Amino acid sequence: MNIHHLELFYYVARHGGITEAVRNIPYGIQQPAVSGQVAQLEESLGVALFQRRPFALTAAGEKLFKFIHPFFSNLDSVANEIQGGREQRIRMGASNIVLRDHLPDLFQNIRKRFPRMKMSLCGGYQAELEALLLKGDLDLAVTLLEQKTTAGLRSLTLLELPLVLLVDKNHPVTDADQLWRRDRIGEPLICMPPTEAMCKNFQQGLAKRGIDWFPSIEVSAPDLIETYVANGFGIGVSVQVPKAGLCPAVRAISLPGFDPVHLGALWRGKPSTLVQAFLDEMQLRARKMLQSGAEKR
């Protein structure tokens, strides 16, 4: 028997089906690959191991799962023991703003529980962080989320962030409708790359209103949008972050009717004890930020 096929069958049996198995296998693999390789295992054994719909193990499947379960279910604990506590190490990716402004305090709290924790931090945005997670080069990422999570990854939404326009404090526009009523918007648009959720949602909102307004300046980080707006280069598209202020030279204009973006966490498979600690702490901090924002309003 092929050991890899046995491993895939273990996840299918443990999680009650191929779809759920794909969501919990701790490395990137697509559903057709799992289905095909488990079918090869059944062919090599000459028996069906489970009923597909509704899912149920056959007698042969029950026997095989009972035999392989102790081995595969204890792999993580044995690896941690051999490696001297691998759960104390985390490889984490996020935008440079999140790494700089929001995670240091969180790291301090986590370190109280895991004093031997070692960290590897990687700056980046959604597409590149997802690719690193799927390759197994990251354990956890904090980034903007798409509506549909990439196959092989699990997600947790932390904050819903409304879109806003950033303008120079002396700009005559005080309401977005003043822009939408124009025949043509002449100010340059400053935005993140078109692949980012922030830009996608903004352009979709414009399309619903029959408005064409495309970026003249693309920047690689949200804080650069504010910088270039403050220096008179145009109008920027950004998000409203709870508790975050703007520089005195810039003010925000709300965008009612535009879909917000969602900030969240991404990871693969079942989270380790350390990854789960980070998820719990991030959820707690997100709730506090929302409560603080509501109190200010």
Identify which has the larger pLDDT, 151 or 40. 40
Angle, CA of 107, 110 and 115, to the nearest 5°: 105
Given a cut of 80, whether residue 155 has pLDDT beyond it is yes
Are 167 and 249 part of one and the same domain?
yes
Instruction: State the average pLDDT for the chain.
Output: 87
Q: What are phi and psi of 115, to 5 degrees?
A: -60, -20
Position 142 pLDDT exceeds 90: yes
Query: Do 101 and 233 sit in the same domain of this protein?
Result: no
Give the pLDDT of residue 23: 77
Q: What is the CATH number of the domain that holds 41?
A: 1.10.10.10
- φ, ψ dihedrals at 194, nearest 5°: -65, -20
pLDDT computed for residue 203 by the predictor:
96
Greater confidence, 126 or 278? 278
The pLDDT of residue 81 = 63
Looking at the predicted structure, is the pLDDT value of residue 83 above 70?
no
Whether 174 has a pLDDT exceeding 80, the answer reads yes
**pLDDT tens-digit profile of 17-53?**
998 888 778 777 888 999 999 999 999 999 999 998 8
More confident residue, 168 or 28: 168
195 pLDDT band, cuts 50/70/90, is confident
Neighbours of 28 (CB within 10 A): 19
Q: Is residue 155 located within the same domain as residue 170?
A: no
Q: Is residue 149 domain-shared with residue 274, that is, in the same domain? A: yes
Residues 46 and 108 in one domain: no
Residues 146 and 173 in one domain: no
* Residue after which a domain boundary falls, among 73, 108, 131: 73
Q: Is the confidence at residue 290, as pLDDT, over 80? A: no
* Domain membership of residue 150 as a residue range: 80-159+262-296
CATH of the domain at 190: 3.40.190.10
Does residue 188 carry a pLDDT above 80? yes
Whether residue 253 sits in one domain with residue 169: yes
Pick from 77-86, 127-136, 181-190, 253-262: least confident: 77-86
Residues 36 and 180 in one domain: no
**Average pLDDT in the 218-242 region?**
90
- Report the Cα 115 to chain-centroid distance in Å: 26
Q: How confident is the model at residue 72 (pLDDT cuts 50, 70, 90)?
A: confident
Spatial separation of the C-alpha atoms in residues 162 and 174, rounded to whole Å? 17
**Lowest mean pLDDT, pick from 9-13, 98-102, 236-240:** 98-102
Q: Collapsing DSSP states into helix, strand and coil, what is residue 187?
A: coil
Question: What distance in Å separates the CA atoms of residue 90 and residue 37, rounded to the nearest whole number?
Answer: 31
> Within this chain, do residues 146 and 270 fall inside the same structural domain, yes or no?
yes
Q: Residue 19: CA atoms inside 13 Å, Cβ hemisphere, count?
A: 4
Q: Look at the alpha carbons of 266, 267, 268, 271 in this order and tell me if their dihedral is positive or negative.
A: negative
Which residue has tokens 């939404």?
Answer: 157
pLDDT value, residue 196: 85
For residues 197 and 275, state if they share a domain: no
Q: In angstroms, what CA-CA distances link 17 with 3, 60, 271?
A: 19, 16, 20
In this predicted model, which residue has the larger pLDDT, 40 or 223? 40
Q: Mean per-residue pLDDT for 176-186?
A: 94
**Is beta strand 89-94 parallel, antiparallel or unpaired with respect to 118-123?**
parallel
Q: Could you give the C-alpha distances from 79 to 51, 87, 121, 154, 273, in angstroms and in order?
A: 33, 10, 23, 23, 14
- Band (169; pLDDT cuts 50, 70, 90): very high
Query: Does the structure show a pLDDT above 80 at 82?
Result: no
- Tell me the three state secondary structure of residue 52: coil
The count of domains in the chain is: 3
Instruction: Say if residue 55 is in the same domain as residue 128.
Output: no
How deeply is 185 buried, as exposed, middle or buried, from its count of CB atoms within 10 A (0-12, 13-18, 19+)? middle
pLDDT at 253: 96
Residue 121: the pLDDT is: 92
Per-residue pLDDT tens digits for 108-118: 888 888 887 88
Please indicate, yes or no, whether the overall pTM of this predicted structure exceeds 0.75.
Answer: no
Task: Give the integer Cα–Cα distance in Å for 151 and 22.
Answer: 8
CA distance 41 to 45: 6
Q: Which residue among 55, 73, 91 closes a domain?
A: 73
* Domain boundary residue, one of 73, 98, 133: 73
Is residue 89 domain-shared with residue 57, that is, in the same domain? no
* Structure confidence at residue 76 (pLDDT): 66
